[in-house]
Amino acid sequence: MSKKIVVLAGDGVGPEVTGEAVRVLKAVSTSHKVGLEFEDALIGGAAYDAAGSPLPDATVAACKASVGILLGAVGGPKWADIPVQHRPEQGLLAIRKALGLFANLRPVTTVPELAAASPLKPEKLKGVDILVIRELTGGIYFGKRGRTAEAAFDTCEYTTAEIERVCRVAGKLAMARRRKVTSVDKANVLDTSRLWRDVATRVFREEFPQLTVEHLLVDAAAMHLLSRPADFDVMVTENMFGDILTDEASMLAGSMGLLPSASLGAGNGPGLYEPIHGSAPDIAGQGVANPCGTILSAAMLLRYSCGAEDAARRIEAAVAGALQAGARTRDIAAPGARDWLGTKAFTDVVLRHLGAH
């Protein structure tokens, strides 16, 4: 039976990295008989330019009819001054909401061979294996907002049910890992965070009594991520804190270009898979973007939306193999090195490690 994957390439480096990840998916689909089929659809600035909306109805319909969605990135200076509702980023927020993708899984791991690419000392990076679960359809991103000439406001709201469901995802995933959860909030200041801490405490105590649970305030969590990153297992937090902490955490791995993500909802609907980075306007069009985050997102797509765990692991092993063999894109190359590879040439090495090239 064929499985339809919608590819939302988007803007900036988006098409460059999704193009390479699709080559990898096609290779694995053949070798592991996954039966993937691909359909392109518009999102972000590219969709606004072509169809007048950052999320055309046709894109939503195609996504709803798919088993999974691979997304590159949206946004860029070209669309900085258009009305808020048409901005590329609104398209991304709207597709997450339309598909009910409330749990955003962002794994952060380190490869010893890449230690030099991280600003942290190598001994801090040993054994780092964190899974950040970022709440994705609530909080300040989706609350009431407004702006006049002299003032503006954004509101952060959370319900008990929204916090419960994302904590349950974190609890289940932690049970299959090292059985530790860190919940991050700002309960010393925000009412939404006080609710978050109460609900998280109850859900983990009543439903996951085997877990070790830690609560951190977000400012301290930002510091602990750098001072003791290997101590963390699963981290669960609200939408904006998760956005910020994972860009910070990408520096443990060595580059924004390395981290993948999976956005999942309840039930069997399609998941959305995208690197955590943006459209990288400073390097777009040069063929130098690191495709690892997107290729590893494709592996998560196979794992969570296709039930193809073996194929997912093959891709993860091939990326690790390419890095261990010394293949580097510019962002993770040694300072001054000249032997780094472009997006496509790096992916060729990954394909060779898959035994498919």
Q: Which of 20-28, 88-96, 296-304, 310-318 is the region at the interface with ligand IPM (rule: CB under 6 A)?
A: 88-96
The answer to whether 214 contacts ligand IPM (rule: CB under 6 A) is no
Q: Which does 93 bind (CB under 5 to 8 A by kind): ligand IPM, ligand NAD, Mn ion, none?
A: ligand IPM
Helices and strands (H, E) in the chain, number of each type: 12, 12
Our answer to whether residue 186 is catalytic in this structure is: yes
> Restricting to residues 259-278, which ones interact with ligand NAD according to CB under 6 A?
274, 277-278
Active site residue 304: no
Ramachandran bin of 309, using left for φ above 0, alpha for ψ from -120 to 50, beta for the remaining angles? alpha
Assess whether 331 carries a catalytic annotation.
Answer: no
Q: Which stretch binds ligand NAD (CB under 6 A): 69-77, 102-110, 117-125, 132-140?
A: 69-77
For 275, the 3-state DSSP assignment is: coil
187-206: which residues touch ligand IPM (CB under 6 A)? none
> What does 281 interact with, of ligand NAD, ligand IPM, Mn ion, none (CB < 5 to 8 A by kind)?
ligand NAD
Q: Which of 48, 141, 273, 304 is catalytic?
A: 141
Locate 108 and state its tokens. Answer: 């952060």
Contacts 24+ apart (CB under 8 A), 158-163: 158/192, 158/195, 158/196, 158/238, 160/195, 160/199, 162/102, 162/135, 162/137, 162/138, 163/135, 163/195, 163/196, 163/199, 163/200, 163/203
117, amino acid identity: A
Under the binding rule (CB under 6 A), the answer on residue 93 touching ligand IPM is: yes
> Which does residue 99 touch among ligand IPM, Mn ion, ligand NAD, none (CB within 5 to 8 A, set by kind)?
none
Binding of ligand NAD at residue 91 (CB under 6 A)? no
Q: How much is the CA Rg of the chain, to the nearest whole Å?
A: 20
Give me the catalytic one of 186, 233, 273, 304: 186
Q: Which of 40, 191, 219, 310 is catalytic?
A: 219
Using the contact rule CB under 6 A, the part of the chain among 15-23, 60-68, 89-97, 292-300 near ligand IPM is: 89-97
Nearer Cβ to ligand IPM, position 56 or 275?
A: 275
Q: Is 276 in the site for ligand IPM (CB under 6 A)?
A: yes
Interface with Mn ion in residues 205-244 (CB under 5 A): 243
- Per CB under 6 A, the segment of 62-70, 87-95, 172-180, 334-342 that binds ligand IPM is 87-95
**Is residue 323 a contact residue for ligand NAD (CB under 6 A)?**
no
We find the least distance from the C-beta atom of residue 223 to ligand NAD, in angstroms, to be: 22
* Residues in CB range of 356: below 8 A, 6 or more apart: 27, 28, 30, 31
Handedness of CA 223, 225, 226, 232 (dihedral sign): positive
For residues 43 and 90, the answer to whether their CB atoms sit within 8 Å is no
Tokens of 104: 């955003």
92 sits near ligand NAD (criterion: CB under 6 A):
yes
Residue 59 vs 279, nearer CB to ligand NAD: 279
Q: Catalytic pick from 49, 129, 231, 247?
A: 247
Taking a C-beta distance cutoff of 8 angstroms, is the pair 11, 45 a contact? yes
Q: Which of 29, 118, 279, 305 binds ligand NAD (CB under 6 A)?
A: 279
- Quick check: 89 binds ligand IPM (CB under 6 A)? yes
d(CA 254, CA 122) in angstroms, rounded, equals 11
Counting Cα atoms < 13 Å in the Cβ hemisphere of 64 gives: 11
Residue pointed to by tokens 């040439």: 345
Estimate the crossing angle of helix 292-305 against helix 14-31, to 10 degrees.
50
Give the binding site for Mn ion (CB under 5 A): 243
- Residue positions annotated with a catalytic role: 141, 186, 219, 243, 247
